[in-house]
Amino acid sequence: MKISTKGRYALRMMLDLAGHQSDGYVALKDIARRQEISKKYLEQIVPILNGAGYLLTSRGSQGGYRLAHSPEKYTVGGLLRLTEGGLNPVPCLEQYPNQCSRSADCPTLPVWQGLNRVITEYLDGITLQDILDQQKQSYSNNYVI
């Protein structure tokens, strides 16, 4: 499994918004500048996030975007499933029940199911708030004299 640029950039955009919650609505150009991501690329990601109810939008000169919910409500897994279309390591796990004609006799199916379980549990166990907290702790442990 490989996470696409869209998934990675969506996560960075959401983290940026989470880190700037107190700023109100944040302009896309500001996110693009801070994250060093093309504004045009972010404009392609916004409709996905907005359509899923992840963002609030405001138009006008003071307009922009903000999270619709608090950062602890968003998991990395949920965000990546939204932008990537799924996180299954193999196509046969994309439907439930499994539609593969070999699934009853497939000796590797348990391997892929286990991998899928580990990926899901890991990514669904990390929230935007967890990442922000980890980042703050990392900065607080970086003493320079």
For 12, counting Cβ atoms within 10 Å of its Cβ (0-12 exposed, 13-18 middle, 19+ buried), the class is middle
> Using 50, 70 and 90 to split pLDDT, how confident is the model at 62?
confident
What domains can you pick out in the chain, each with its CATH number?
5-140 (1.10.10.10)
The stretch 58-63 carries a mean pLDDT of 87
Going by C-alpha positions, the residue among 49, 61, 58, 64 that lies closest to residue 128 is 49
Going by C-alpha positions, the residue among 57, 88, 93, 67 that lies closest to residue 11 is 67
For 59, counting Cβ atoms within 10 Å of its Cβ (0-12 exposed, 13-18 middle, 19+ buried), the class is exposed
Length of the chain: 145
What tens digit of pLDDT does each residue of 67-84 get?
A: 999 999 999 999 999 999
Q: How far apart are CA 119 and CA 125, in angstroms?
A: 10
Query: In the predicted model, what is the mean pLDDT of the chain?
Result: 92
Q: How far apart are CA 116 and CA 12, in angstroms?
A: 24
pLDDT of residue 144: 59
> Using 50, 70 and 90 to split pLDDT, how confident is the model at 61?
confident
The pLDDT of residue 113 is above 70: yes
What tens digit of pLDDT does each residue of 10-47 get?
A: 999 999 999 999 999 999 999 999 999 999 999 999 99
